[in-house]
Amino acid sequence: MKISTIPALLLAHVALASPLAVVKRVGDDGAITTTTTTEHVHHTTTVTTFVPDSQTPDIQDSTTVAIEGTPQPVTTLSTKTVSHSSDAVERSVPSGSPGAGGRKNIVYVTNWGIYNKVFKVADIPADSITHAMYAFANVNPDGSLFATDEWSDISIKFPGDEQIPAGNNAFGCVNQLYQLKKKNRHFKTLLSIGGWTYSIQKRFSGWSATDAGRKLFASSAVDMIANWGMDGVDIDWEYPSTPEEGRDFTLLLKEVRQALDNYAATNGQNYHYLLTVASPADPAKIANLDVAGMDQYLDSWNVMAYDYAGAWDSTTGHLANLYMDKANPTATKFNTQGALDAHIKGGVSPNKLILGLPLYGRSYASTSGIGQSYQGTARGTTEHGIYRYNDLPLPGATITEDLSLGASYSYDPAAKMLISYDTPNVVRSKGEYIHANNLGGAMFWEAAGDKTGEESLVRAMANTLGGLDTTPNMLSYPKSSFDNIRGQ
């Protein structure tokens, strides 16, 4: 997960009536259909976000800081094939079936998301979500964990918190998630540790190579979820850079798995606390992992199937396409099929693979279209060049949905700006892909970017998947220091 910038200044939430929205769709059969509608678009603006129709977007030099970890296409693994249009790569459909508990619909919830005035943890569609990954805890040099924003995590009071009986209570996002668990017994929460920013600070280096460091990490992780009332641990190490670090990652997972099981046994709980990872989509980075070794300790792999193109590239490209485009290869530098194939080739059962989707888009300025050159990026809502999905499409843009690739983008020919992001139709096509490939479910990064109602990508996926995981969550945390979490 790579977006972690908190806006410096938050302005009012405004609702804008967009001009006529034009949607062009390219179907699996190559047919092109165009639909024109009028709709209202809700915008959350910051000092770096709002671009009026009449204003040319600010341009940032194209030497934006590169983000590592973009995946490479791999088309090696296949057990049966599905025929599609001649423009697309042959699609492999691995064997397997979803877990007995149903498919997962996972959303990352960040502790900086609340600084977007529109977003409230209590408003996430918990009835359509099976798991929320709470991001991020960080790691000390010795392997112990610490909270990265205690005010957001456990201190800020939200409406309704005044009804909590007096005592030593957790507030903040932690309590909001716990209250959602009480109202939705299928809704489970995991503590996510690491993330892109902390990973590139080498927060996983050193201690992970030692038995003592791994044990301390495991015990600290269990202590934190026991204190905060969570159902498991998600580790987001981006990324082990050598086979030796990959080996250390496997040993770390073994230690955490044992610590989670010991915690449940000590408390007399017949409950399986979850252990997951945020997994790279780049086969070259997957190659540094002991995939089979890791898999024996993991409940699922949350594959970060996005950021396939961005400001680090010389041409525009799709953000999260399912397949390679042979006709325009520069537009699909990487693809999800290759990422999943690399995991399966390493020994992961398809039903443990969770397909990641973005709730944001990446922009390109001064470009003539997809797969073409560009100059810089436009203003965004989280950082320069990145727009939350709930700010898209921008007024004046035409949406193109290429369902043969599982990709979409908007383009404003007047401003010459392109933004690659997933639309509800593309998300539904990815849900069908999950069904066809017997994958374990979907994951979204991150909750503050979604829309509400029929335009919600999270709900669109839930409706497409159907039969979601209904395994119960845990509400009893006898070792929590917080009265409102311990006392259930």
pLDDT, tens digit (0-9, with 9 covering 90-100), for 244-256: 999 999 999 999 9
pLDDT value, residue 25: 58
How far is CA 257 from its chain centroid?
23
Residue 226 sits at φ, ψ, to 5 deg, of -70, -30
- The pLDDT of residue 6 is above 70: no
Q: How far apart are CA 408 and CA 325, in angstroms?
A: 13
Q: What is the pLDDT of residues 108-141, one digit of tens each?
A: 999 999 998 889 999 999 999 999 999 999 999 9
Terminal-to-terminal C-alpha distance of the chain: 33
C-alpha distance from residue 270 to each of 130, 260, 262, 469, 472 (Å): 20, 12, 11, 18, 12
Structure tokens at 154: 């456990």
Q: How far apart are CA 285 and CA 72, in angstroms?
A: 10
CATH of the domain at 446: 3.20.20.80
- The pLDDT of residue 31 is above 80: no
pLDDT value, residue 172: 98
- 301 located within any domain: yes
pLDDT value, residue 116: 87
E strand or H helix at 190: strand 188-194
E strand or H helix at 211: helix 211-228
Confidence of residue 175 (pLDDT cuts 50, 70, 90): very high
Instruction: Give the predicted TM-score (pTM) of the model.
Output: 0.83
Average pLDDT of 465-486?
A: 97
Name the percent of the chain lying above pLDDT 90: 76
Q: How far apart are CA 110 and CA 152, in angstroms?
A: 10
pLDDT value, residue 380: 93
Side chain identity, residue 392: L
- The pLDDT of residue 53 is above 60: no
Q: Which residues contact 136 (CB under 8 A, 6 or more apart)?
A: 1, 4, 110, 111, 148, 192, 193, 194, 195, 198, 236
3-state secondary structure of 237: coil
The closest alpha carbon to 233, from 248, 218, 216, 251, belongs to 218
**Greater pLDDT, 79 or 121:** 121
Average pLDDT of 12-37?
A: 44
The closest alpha carbon to 253, from 229, 230, 231, 237, belongs to 237
pLDDT value, residue 39: 34
- 472 located within any domain: yes
Average pLDDT of 309-330?
A: 97
**Count of structural domains within the chain:** 1
DSSP per position, 269-327: -----EEEEEE-S-HHHHTTS-HHHHHTT-SEEEE----SS-TTSSB---SS-SS-BTT
- The pLDDT of residue 81 is above 60: no
- 47 located within any domain: no
Q: 276 forms bridges with which residues in the sheet?
A: 234, 300
Check: CB of residue 366 under 8 Å from CB of residue 411. Answer: no
Domain of 455, in residue numbers: 74-361+422-486
Q: What is the pLDDT of residues 376-400, one digit of tens each?
A: 998 898 899 999 999 999 999 999 9
Confidence of residue 275 (pLDDT cuts 50, 70, 90): very high
Residue 272 burial (10 A CB sphere; 0-12, 13-18, 19+):
middle
- The pLDDT of residue 280 is above 70: yes
- 230 located within any domain: yes
Q: What is the pLDDT of residues 395-413, one digit of tens each?
A: 999 999 999 999 999 999 9
Q: How far apart are CA 384 and CA 143, in angstroms?
A: 33
The closest alpha carbon to 28, from 442, 393, 323, 372, belongs to 323
Bridging pattern class, strands 104-110 and 145-147: unpaired
Structure tokens at 233: 């641990």
Average pLDDT of 200-216?
A: 94
SS (H, E, C) 134-179: EEEEEECCCCCEEECCHHHHHHCCCCCHHHCCCCCCCCHHHHHHHH
- 12 located within any domain: no
- 370 located within any domain: no
- The pLDDT of residue 75 is above 80: no
Q: How far apart are CA 229 and CA 225, in angstroms?
A: 6
pLDDT value, residue 344: 98
Average pLDDT of 300-323?
A: 98
Confidence of residue 5 (pLDDT cuts 50, 70, 90): very low
- The pLDDT of residue 93 is above 90: no
The closest alpha carbon to 318, from 265, 371, 355, belongs to 371
Bridging pattern class, strands 353-358 and 300-303: parallel
Average pLDDT over the chain reads 84
Side chain identity, residue 158: F
- The pLDDT of residue 11 is above 70: no
Residue 160 sits at φ, ψ, to 5 deg, of 100, -20
Structure tokens at 38: 């009028």
Q: Which of 199-208, 292-301, 315-324, 354-363 has the lowest mean pLDDT?
A: 199-208
* Catalytic residue ranges: 238
pLDDT value, residue 26: 57
Q: What is the pLDDT of residues 408-431, one digit of tens each?
A: 999 999 999 999 999 999 999 999
- 244 located within any domain: yes
- The pLDDT of residue 89 is above 80: no
C-alpha distance from residue 250 to each of 208, 288, 289, 351 (Å): 10, 11, 8, 20
pLDDT value, residue 252: 98
Q: How far apart are CA 241 and CA 335, in angstroms?
A: 21
pLDDT value, residue 201: 87
Confidence of residue 321 (pLDDT cuts 50, 70, 90): very high
pLDDT value, residue 382: 84
- The pLDDT of residue 41 is above 90: no
Confidence of residue 298 (pLDDT cuts 50, 70, 90): very high
- 307 located within any domain: yes
